């Protein structure tokens, strides 16, 4: 029996998840249905991949093994109006909605079953997402393993306590934007010193990619790897001194902290509006 999955929302993340699942080793064991409020997105995905497009979500009872919510938080009320109280308690609901807690999902859908909340990032588009996950008390080990399998199809997935999801938003959720700025700045530095822009961008991008892969593949602390390319009295140590004098590390730490606080503020504001 194949695992039935309904993906609600086929934007960047929903379509990336669909494609990742269909390209994974898991593909032969699943059947995927898709729905989006924008019918053109559903049609485009259904024309290219082996999925079942749904015109609406209305039914007496939804009994898919998994329903994955890949919609924007502001669309939650619209989607839940069709599904509230109609999802089998045996179904696993997975949400990628930023700032929406597992309790929020349970309340919105009048649902007492297992819920997993996730925070993937934009690298899902190339199958290298960093995804943090948390779950409610109704989740059993089988549900957790299923969620891990699903999000491993687009990168790496790790479990974390729900209280840290705002920090995840500040780190890996917003993190790609910080790295894009680093790549852009390195590229401009190369251009300033005479390297053609196309080549400078290529060198900068590959440098960031290779450095990250080296940390990951060797499981070596970044400071140790940094020291390995830092010759006494050489170019790198002088550049590091310049970066430290301008507070590079402090700025990145503050960026994560600031984004975390903003995520927490938006979540608390949303919850306050819901109560009033």
Considering the domain architecture, whether residues 147 and 12 belong to the same structural domain is answered as yes
Residue 269 counted as domain residue: no
Return the H-helix or E-strand segment holding 92: strand 92-95
b/e string for 220-249 if b means 16 or more Cβ within 10 A? eeeeeeeeeeeeeeeeeeeeeeeeeeeeee
Using one digit for the tens of pLDDT, what is the confidence trace for 236-258? Answer: 999 999 999 999 999 999 999 99
SS3 161: coil
In a domain, 276, yes or no: no
| Of 147, 165, 183, the domain-final residue | 165
Provide the pLDDT for residue 58: 83
In whole angstroms, what is the distance from residue 94 CA to residue 122 CA? 17
Q: Which domain holds residue 239?
A: 173-255
In angstroms, the CA 236 to CA 230 distance is 5
Closest CA to 5 of 94, 81, 76, 79: 94
Q: What is the CATH number of the domain that holds 230?
A: 1.10.3730.10
Tell me: do 159 and 177 sit in the same domain.
Answer: no
Same domain, 108 and 223: no
Q: How confident is the model at residue 212 (pLDDT cuts 50, 70, 90)?
A: very high
Q: How many domains is the chain partitioned into structurally?
A: 2
Q: Can you give the pTM of this predicted structure?
A: 0.92
Answer yes or no: is 15 within a domain: yes
Q: What is the mean pLDDT of the chain?
A: 95
Answer yes or no: do 140 and 184 share one domain. Answer: no
Q: Which two tokens stand for residue 139?
A: 């989740």
- Return the CA Rg of the chain: 22
pLDDT at 274 over 80: no
Determine the pLDDT at residue 59: 84
Q: What's the pLDDT band for 273 if we cut at 50, 70, 90?
A: confident
Residues of the chain with pLDDT > 70, as a percent, come to 100
Residue 263 lies in a domain: no
**Taking the CB of residue 199, how many other CB atoms lie within 10 A of it?**
12
Predicted local distance difference test score (pLDDT) of residue 1: 83
- 141 and 216 both lie in a single domain: no
Q: Cβ contacts of residue 270 below 8 Å, gap of 6+?
A: 73, 99, 100
Mean pLDDT of the 10-23 span: 95
Structure confidence by residue, pLDDT tens digits, 80-115:
999 999 999 999 999 999 989 999 999 999 999 999
pLDDT at residue 256 in the model:
98
27 vs 91, 154, 204, CA distance in Å? 19, 13, 35
What pLDDT is recorded for position 272?
Answer: 79
Q: Which helix (H) or strand (E) holds 117?
A: strand 115-119
CATH number (domain holding residue 105): 3.40.50.720
**Neighbour-count burial for 163-172, b at 16+ CB within 10 Å, e otherwise:** eebbbbbbbb
Residue-wise pLDDT for 25-77, tens only, equals: 989 999 999 999 999 999 999 999 999 999 999 888 999 999 999 999 889 99
The residues near 68 (Cβ < 8 Å, ≥ 6 apart) are 5, 6, 7, 8, 14, 17, 94, 95, 96, 150
């Amino acid at each position: 029996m194949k695992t039935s999955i309904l993906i609600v929302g086929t934007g960047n993340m929903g379509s990336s998840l669909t494609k990742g699942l269909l390209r994974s080793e898991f593909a032969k064991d699943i059947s995927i249905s898709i729905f989006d409020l924008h019918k053109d997105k559903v049609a485009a995905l259904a024309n290219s991949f082996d999925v079942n497009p749904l015109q609406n979500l209305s039914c007496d009872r939804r009994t898919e093994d998994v329903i994955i919510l890949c919609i924007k938080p502001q669309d939650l009320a619209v989607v839940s109006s069709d599904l509230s109280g109609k999802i089998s308690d045996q179904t696993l609901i997975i949400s990628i909605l930023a700032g929406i807690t597992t309790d929020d999902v349970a309340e919105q859908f009048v649902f007492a079953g297992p819920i997993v909340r996730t925070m993937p990032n934009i690298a899902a588009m190339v199958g290298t997402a960093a995804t943090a996950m948390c779950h409610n008390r109704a989740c059993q080990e089988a549900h957790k393993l299923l969620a891990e399998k699903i999000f491993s199809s687009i990168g790496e997935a790790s479990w974390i306590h729900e209280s840290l999801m705002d920090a995840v938003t500040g780190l890996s959720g917003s993190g790609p934007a910080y790295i894009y700025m680093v790549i852009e700045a390195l590229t401009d530095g190369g251009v300033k010193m005479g390297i053609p822009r196309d080549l400078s961008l290529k060198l900068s991008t590959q440098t960031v990619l290779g450095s990250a892969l080296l940390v990951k593949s060797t499981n070596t602390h970044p400071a140790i790897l940094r020291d390995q390319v830092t010759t006494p009295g050489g170019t790198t140590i002088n550049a590091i001194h310049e970066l430290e004098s301008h507070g590079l590390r402090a700025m990145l730490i503050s960026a994560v902290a600031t984004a975390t606080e903003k995520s927490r503020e938006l979540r608390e504001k949303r919850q306050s509006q819901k109560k009033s």
